[in-house]
Amino acid sequence: MRKRLGIIVDELHRDRLPDAWGINRDQLPCILARTGEEMPFVVVSRDEIGTCRASIERLERRIGDALQAAKAPPEASHLAAVSDSREPQRSFERRST
């Protein structure tokens, strides 16, 4: 996904979501974005992810549109895909794709 979007993408389990970010568990899964060290913000909500109907192409298009609408500078953008699964992901904690 990083190659297609041109930005860093991390996957984050809900148990690793910092409370300071102010994201409620009922908002998960979601895609967050941040610029530099600023507070992350939701760019693709749970409902918007659902409308993609398991299509990676639709999700990538939705993310790209949301980042453009937020006017996030591409050189400083960082995405976190936050999972709401019950089981923590053990194969990795951080992944750039």
- Listing DSSP states for 78-97 in one string gives EEEEEE--SSPP-S-S----
Task: Domain ranges for the chain, please list them.
Answer: 2-83
Coil, strand or helix at 43: strand
Segment 76-87, tens digit of pLDDT: 567 888 887 665
| DSSP class of 54 | T
Mean pLDDT of 20-38: 91
- Which of 1-5, 30-34, 70-74, 90-94 has the highest mean predicted lDDT (pLDDT)? 30-34
Determine the Cα–Cα distance for residues 14 and 22; give it in Å rounded to an integer. 12
Average pLDDT, the chain: 80
Beta partners for residue 79, in sequence order: 9, 33
